[in-house]
Amino acid sequence: MDLEIDNAKLIEILNAYKRKVDYDYERYHTKIKDNPEEMAKRREISRNHYQKNKDKKKQYYLENKQRVRLMSLRRYYKDRMDELKEKMPFEYEMMIEYNIIPDPNHQTPKEQESPVHADA
């Protein structure tokens, strides 16, 4: 399977996408937005989707309750990570474990010193 796309094909794909977005935008603002029947139909679809998937969303939050709480703490202490580490060391360690914040002790290959060879 060839995944290479030449430049002309890529431009054609991007132009087709742009035309579709423009068409959808124009259609919404001229035909759907001010049409009460269309809006009622869309609201009904949204309402049905919400009712069908309410339990899925609840299950997601129950399974990820700890992660959601840690993300909230990260946003609250975003510029004061030292204060967070001091006040809540356990949560700080969990944030590192869940990769919510980068590990301060982790060195990327650029930061590691290259070994010096004696035969040079």
Q: What is the pTM of this model?
A: 0.49
| Assigned domain for 29 exists | no
| Assigned domain for 93 exists | yes
User: Mean pLDDT for each consecutive 10-residue tract of the chain (120 residues)?
Assistant: 80 97 94 91 96 94 92 92 92 90 75 55
| Assigned domain for 77 exists | yes
| Assigned domain for 35 exists | no
| Assigned domain for 120 exists | no
pLDDT at residue 117 in the model: 56
* Distances, alpha carbon 37 to alpha carbons 11, 23, 27, 51, 58, in Å: 38, 21, 15, 21, 31
pLDDT at residue 5 in the model: 80
| Assigned domain for 80 exists | yes
Q: How many Cβ atoms sit within 10 Å of the Cβ of residue 74?
A: 17
Residue 88: which of 48, 101, 7, 18 has the closest Cα? 101
pLDDT at residue 15 in the model: 97
**Domain span at residue 90?**
65-97
| Assigned domain for 71 exists | yes
The count of domains in the chain is 1
